[in-house]
Amino acid sequence: MIVARRFEGDVRVSYSRTEIVSKGSDVEHELVREAMRATGIPRGIDVMTLADVPSQGTGLGSSSTVTVGLLNALYAFQGIYRAPLALAEEASRIEIEVLGKPIGRQDQYASAVGGFNLIEFLRDGGGVRVEPVVMPSGCLKRLHRSLLMFYTGRQRQASTVLEEQRSAVQDGKAIASLEHMRDLAYSLRDELAAGNVDAVGRLLHENWELKKGLVEKISSPEVDRWYELGRRAGATGGKVLGAGGGGFLLLYAPPARHDAIRRELGELREVPIRLAARGTHITVMNDALD
């Protein structure tokens, strides 16, 4: 994310295309428009977004990451510091309340805080609690070495899948599965804290089977085939990241089985995966607005 002063005094936004408009409220990119509105910058800036992966429909929380990063950059441009949790909350407000997206808040908090955490959304207005998962020495490295991620080439709108999921919850059909999935998050935290890294595969598999049962669009025959190929080649578990329906397939497997899995999934593009120790942060800071 790059934000710079614009000599012409208008607004230029560069992403998959370029917009040049007279003021922020005219920007078509809704996340940029609302982030500018929230941070009080009406015009006079260049905004550029760059990404290593497609910015929508991949299940990596790209849209929320863009929103968090935009807010951080736009505030920093004015010489204003915002704490990570405050950025996450404001990004959630923009996406959910202002833009009306039927999404959760986990992506905003994950991208704002960084690290490997248990994120709890407390009932009755209790807020959000972010708890780092503390593991014995060497466990995080083992986890890194055991993960594989493949791009399926299928993109989807998370809002479509999540809207169906919300309907299933309102009908009462999915509540038991969602409660079970919540409990699996605590189980994963406890297993990692005990140094049982290989439990990740089993718990991911259990989570994925539950998630597929929520709504039909979460998986597809093609995704199911890729997942089973990975399992037969040695993966102990995995899932499609994000809301489901496409994007990236994450697998957990002993490193000795990785080459076999790569051969079986040769039609997919492997993308290296690394857990980021830091969330959103400013890497270069020049002069702020007067």
**Angle formed by the axes of helices 62-77 and 30-39, nearest 10°:** 30
Half-sphere exposure of residue 182: CA atoms within 13 angstroms, side-chain side: 9
User: Of 47, 37, 49, whose CA–CA distance to 97 is shortest?
Assistant: 37
Q: Is the four-CA dihedral 69, 66, 181, 96 of positive or negative sign?
A: positive
Cβ proximity of 279 and 109 under 8 Å: no
> Sign of torsion, CA 60 41 101 184?
positive
Q: What is the pLDDT of residue 289?
A: 46
Whole-structure pTM over 0.75, yes or no?
A: yes
Q: Cα separations (Å) of 27 from 13, 24, 35, 174?
A: 8, 5, 11, 38
Can you state the angle between helices 62-77 and 106-113, rounded to 10 degrees?
50
Q: What DSSP character marks residue 218?
A: G
Task: Give the type of residue at 89.
Answer: E
In the chain, the domains with their CATH numbers are 2-131 (3.30.230.120), 135-270 (3.30.70.890)
Q: Which of 10, 46, 52, 107 is catalytic?
A: 107
Gap between the Cα atoms of 90 and 280, Å rounded: 14
Q: CA-CA distances (angstroms) from residue 122 to 67, 117, 125, 129, 130? A: 23, 15, 7, 7, 11
Q: Residue 154 CB: number of other CB atoms within 10 A?
A: 16
Q: Is there a catalytic annotation at residue 198?
A: no
- So what's the pLDDT on residue 274? 86
- The tokens describing 284, both together, are 């270069």
pLDDT by position in tens, the chain (length 290): 999 999 999 999 999 899 999 999 999 999 999 999 999 999 999 999 988 876 666 778 888 999 999 999 999 999 999 999 999 999 999 999 999 988 889 999 999 999 999 999 998 877 899 999 999 999 999 999 999 999 998 766 555 666 666 676 666 667 888 899 999 999 999 999 999 999 999 999 999 999 988 877 788 899 999 999 999 999 999 999 976 777 899 999 999 999 999 999 999 999 999 888 899 999 987 754 44
| 206 Cβ neighbours under 8 A, 6+ residues apart | 184, 237
d(CA 174, CA 44): 48
